[in-house]
A and B are shown apart, each in its own frame.
Chain A
Amino acid sequence: MSADALAPVAGPQPDSTGHFGRFGGRFVPEALVAALDELDGAWRTAIADESFRAEFGALLRDYAGTPSLLYEARRFSAKVGARVLLKREDLNHTGAHKVRNVLGQALLTKRMGKTRVIAETGAGQHGVATATAAALFDLECVVYMGEVDTERQALNVARMRMLGATVVPVTTGSRTLKDAMNEAMRDWVANVDETHYLIGTAAGPHPFPAMVRDFVRGIGDEARQQCLDLTGGLPDAVTACVGGGSNALGIFHAFVGDPDVRLYGFEAGGDGVTTSRHAASITGGSAGVLHGARTYVLQDADGQTLESHSISAGLDYPGVGPEHAWLHDSGRANYLPVTDDEAMAAFELLCRTEGIIPAIESAHALAGTVTLAPKLAAELGREPTIVVNLSGRGDKDVHTAGDYFGILDKER
């Protein structure tokens, strides 16, 4: 199945200049346009090239360990009141769906003859994945990370360094993910000849949103077939957490053309979208321009970006990929917020019922599913089947979760 994860499929595409309806596009310094055009050209050529697709497919299979399993979580299902099938992206190498994107972009970097990759990271997951691919492909790697995050995620900083990457703490602005992204953009403008900016989610200027989506859309292609094989039909709903939006688009894309499959994206509601402490750009933000695209943004009355808050570092971002903004406006996908507390309750439930420690990001998808299941059951008059994208594993979150549940022994 993963032998040709890039084979052409039907599904929504942006227009030739990267617009999904009124969203997307390129709001970037002119200095970057040449590089974006180069990337777009390299990308179009690569996906039409059998050998590139074969190479990517082989890496996904032999290195990343895909296709990931679609696992029927029976004990979790019984608690939730739905037949819950987990797409086990947590079992991939490096522990999340993100490896698919970095392998694809690293291959493309080689094809463009570039020798250096840069990345932004919040929790460090994308940074670790990028450092991994850079080691595998012998590329120089610099990862920008907000100073606040380097302190919160010291272990991931060490992992990146072990893999040979340089981690640059970003001390400007709010010193978190959005500022790391600003700093990566500044680096890219200055070093664009030899450098590829390996963006970690389906956001940013065209062609990143569509390209990243395509690199991860194997998740949905696999899950759709696996669900057919397992249940003899399509699911009633597909759910995922939404930070920048890559794992959600990755699993949605294959189902967008199936009108009976409901699509649900769960955003980080933090303390609640009615408070100022959340990261729900679609349900709690408004249309604007951030990091190269028009999309939903958390912003104040003057268009200044607001700081986001979430217990999940990977969802703690004040924007979202433009394709989600468009899927929201078109009504094809539904977006709902999940609070920190709801996510942590679902985190615990999965641990205790299935022996699987999810990433806190993915716990948002689980929590949304818990709320969705009875509503869907009532609507359908039967037990619904729900495919949940378990986008990553929780090893990185043990400290945060231990803190939350108060189960860490005091330091001696």
Chain B
Amino acid sequence: MSRIGVAFDKARADGRALLVGCMPAGFPSVEGSIAAMTAMVEAGVDVIEVEIPYSDPVMDGPVIQKASDIALAGGVRTADTLRIVEAVAATGAPVVTMTYWNPIERYGVDVFARDLAAAGGTGLITPDLIPDEADEWLAASDAHGLDRTFLVSPSSTDARVAMTVEHCRGFVYATAVMGVTGARSRTSDAAPTLVSRVREFTDLPVGVGLGVGTGAQASTVAGYADGVIVGSALVRCLLDAPSEADGLAALRTLSAELAEGVRTPTR
């Protein structure tokens, strides 16, 4: 079983959900993102999701777009992402990479899989790669022992949910709303239904993302999902802060609040 699978199992045994925290690599700088991700782990985030910044992130809302733009303007390269993965994996937390497909195709799918595995990454979350187009990635992830997280959506038919989860390894990503990343004031009504539909087809853990930003929301989602995935709300801590130190402090506070939320599931 993958390292993420082990972590999910342990959380299940403890009667809580896993907290997955997402940050773009190289935001606000390569060293700054390592510091931010390390602070998140120290404050109780279980799994770090390192997003490879991309010029055309169609699944991301304004907050992550802005952070990605800052990272790219700072000159971050795909190879830097691997360095960040390696540094954060050294904390002991599982590190998964989220990426749009073109940077991986450009790097070389098999070569990237090899280098990600060597850096200690557990696998990829692929927001614009569906299993239908993923032959090369399926082969490379098998060859290098990496997890594959494809997304399911409220609009997915049962047939597509079944097909998609069959190709997943590690965990399944359920997008809570029809929309892009970004914290929302209300959690989704569609998510619990989607999670139970996924469970009809797989025993893999299910993480829910899109729109979660507070401890209370994390607690609600932890009531029906195995993982709570938070991105924009964490990124905003750094974007809005007057200084990097203030940003890290805000990031620790929110991480701790979310960590408390996933430990007190609303049932």
Contact = CB atoms under 8 A, between A and B. Distances in A.
A157 interface: no
A299 to B, nearest CB: 7
A30 B130 contact: yes
Interface string A5-40: 000000000000100000001111111111100000
A2 B101 CA distance: 41
Given A190-B179, A302-B106, A33 B56 contact: no
Nearest to A193: B178
Interface stretch (B3-11, B155-163, B213-221): B155-163
Given A29-B58, A182-B58, A35 B106 contact: no
Nearest to A293: B133
Interface residues of A, number: 36
B222 interface: no
A27 B102 CA distance: 9
A24 B57 CA distance: 19
B69 A172 contact: yes
A113 interface: no
Pick the most buried of A185, A290, A291, A304: most chain B CB atoms within 10 A of its CB: A304
A303 B59 contact: no
A30 B160 contact: yes
A32 to B, nearest CB: 8
Interface string A289-312: 111100001010111110000000
Contacts of B175: 29-31
A115 B174 CA distance: 28
Contact of A303 (B102, B151, B157): B102
B58 A186 contact: yes
A192 interface: yes
B244 interface: no
Name the prevailing secondary structure of the A interface residues.
mixed
Pick the most buried of B151, B152, B179: most chain A CB atoms within 10 A of its CB: B179
Given A288-B105, A303-B106, A29 B56 contact: no
Given A178-B56, A302-B77, A27 B156 contact: no
B192 interface: no
Nearest to A185: B58
Contacts of B130: 26-28, 30, 33
Contact of B178 (A172, A182, A192): A192
Contacts of B128: 27-29, 289, 292
Pick the most buried of B150, B151, B155: most chain A CB atoms within 10 A of its CB: B155
A304 B73 CA distance: 12
Contacts of B107: 302-303
A25 B128 CA distance: 12
Interface in B150-182: 150-157, 160, 164, 175, 177-180
Contact of A288 (B61, B102, B180): B102
Contact of A34 (B133, B150, B157, B164): B157
Given A27-B129, A172-B62, A303 B105 contact: yes
A189 interface: yes
A31 B178 contact: yes
Interface string A97-139: 0000000000000000000000000000000000000000000
B65 A302 contact: no
Contacts of B157: 34
A189 B153 CA distance: 10
Contacts of A302: 77-78, 103, 106-107
Given A178-B56, A189-B180, A290-B56, A29 B102 contact: no
Contacts of B58: 28-29, 182, 185-186, 189, 291
A173 interface: yes
Given A173-B56, A291-B56, A304-B54, A29 B105 contact: no
Which 5 pairs of residues, A with B, have the shortest CB-CB distance? Answer: A303-B106, A31-B153, A190-B179, A303-B103, A34-B155
20 contacts: A27-B129, A29-B128, A29-B153, A30-B155, A30-B156, A32-B155, A33-B160, A34-B153, A34-B156, A34-B157, A172-B62, A173-B55, A173-B69, A179-B56, A182-B56, A189-B58, A190-B177, A288-B102, A289-B101, A290-B102
Interface of A: 17, 25-35, 172-173, 178-179, 182, 185-186, 189-193, 288-292, 297, 299, 301-305
Interface of B: 54-59, 61-62, 65-66, 69, 72, 77-78, 101-107, 127-130, 132-133, 150-157, 160, 164, 175, 177-180
